[in-house]
Amino acid sequence: MALPQYTHYRVNLHVLSPIHVGAGQELDPFSYVIRDRTLFMIDLIKWMEVYPEQDKLYHMMDSDNFANIRSFIAENFNAENAIRCAIPVDNPKLLDTYRRAIQKKDPKNQVLISPMTRNEISTEAYIPGSSIKGAIRTAIANHFVKKAGVTSRDAKGRDDYNKKIFGQINKDPMRCLRLSDVFLGKPGTVIVESKEFPLDPDKALTPKGHTEVSVSQCHAGRPLVYPLRFAMAPFELHKENVHPEFLADVLYQFYVPKYEAEYQKFYHSRQAERVQQGLIPMNQAIAGLRTNETLVRVGHYSHVECVTLDHVRTPQTRMGKNGKPLPWGKTRTLANGIYPFGWAKLEFCDLPSRPRPERTWPFALEGDPRQKGHPGGFDTTFRRTSADQSGGEKRPIPQKIVPPFERLKEDLDLIRANDMGRLGTIIQKIDSLEADAEKAALAEAIRDKIGPKAFKRHKRKRHLQELIAKAKKEG
């Protein structure tokens, strides 16, 4: 059996609203400290090894008083080499809750936080390629519901609708699609509070915990774009050819109506004015989608409509007090009570880019989301605060802005030559550089870093050589 012939495409992921893909466990109170509007994930063991007052430390750690131990760590942690990563906090409630829990040594409030998936070596947060692929799979499945003869009986589990649409699991055609993880950089995430927004205007928003999310265009007020390694071997499904153009259309047909319906159902009312204002950047991005661009929804809190199939949707909910399943689709979960989770734009750079037909949209396209009174506006150039010399109010300190090429070169200089994981991350980001000369320079630096013998065996050798050759040819 011949192996599929993959073609590599240039694809960008534009993060429109906060995305959360969880790591499967929450940050426990001993794994972080919060200072100056920043959450520092820490290596507790490394800090304990260098703490100067060892007797005092071990006496405290031998205690069974959880609250005292947490407060001791929060008040005494000062080892920079034991910081794993720093994440800005964009929620005053979390800052206040943590401060009170530490000061009052309150054992009832653990202040648990749901972190993103991250590379254990570099600690860089990322959106798994499998999550994006899952969102693509849902849209494809929805397109073939009728052709595959899928009914509501299949959705309930009486038959396997996946088998009807995609065939036997060992021959699943979705294996012909390969996507890389999307690394978010530093700082590419922020801590927010997840709140449940009810359809009933008489009900208040319900807190659902604190969550680490990707910084998004809605939140930051500027585009957040990441390169996505995308390889595909075209295949046929129910007598239709599946290729990048097909994906762009199918995804658009599935996800754009979902956003419109959600907006009309939940965010069109007067009690959602703050949400309406916060969504203007995303509304503009969706209304401006071109033929090589599409909407997609990724990660946690994507909600039932975006993870199930139209016409056969039968979500299973928990039982209410009356013994009957609770109704679904009555709430949305919003970051800081303003931004829906999970919305992103996929841009297929190698496809023709033409305007889509003009149409009427159910949401506002005008207005300045950075005006006074805008509900959000987190700025990733401000990460920490410091008191001024007069002891007055703490003020933001702008971080030094490092050009992408210089940042990647610095990262390369810091890693070991045999650190294939972090080296692969740098190689993945080369295509995001604008200048061919910068791409070639970084490719040469990688070649020199790992040495001639290792370079000959490297799986990305051909790609790096092509970048170097292209720059020499143009020069």
Provide the pLDDT confidence category of residue 475 given band limits of 50, 70 and 90.
low
CB 4 within 8 A of CB 176: yes
Separation CA 173–CA 136 (nearest Å): 13
Separation CA 410–CA 195 (nearest Å): 39
CB 34 within 8 A of CB 43: no
Which residue type occupies 47? W
The encoded tokens of residue 312 equal 């056969």
Q: How many other C-beta atoms can be found within 10 angstroms of the C-beta atom of residue 325? A: 13
Provide the pLDDT confidence category of residue 80 given band limits of 50, 70 and 90.
confident
Please name which of 43, 185, 76 lies closest in space to residue 127, comparing C-alpha atoms. 185
Report pLDDT digits (tens) over 242-256.
999 999 999 999 999
**Max CA separation in the chain (angstroms):** 75
- Model confidence at 1: pLDDT above 90: no
Report pLDDT digits (tens) over 149-204.
887 776 555 457 788 899 888 889 999 999 999 999 878 999 999 999 998 888 88
Q: Cis check for the bond before 187: say yes or no (omega within 30 of 0).
A: yes
CB 425 within 8 A of CB 183: yes
Residues 6+ apart with CB under 8 A from 456: none
Distance spanning both ends of the chain, measured CA to CA: 44
The encoded tokens of residue 205 equal 């928003």
Q: How many CA atoms lie within 13 A of 60 on its CB side?
A: 17
The encoded tokens of residue 310 equal 């139209």
- Model confidence at 396: pLDDT above 50: no
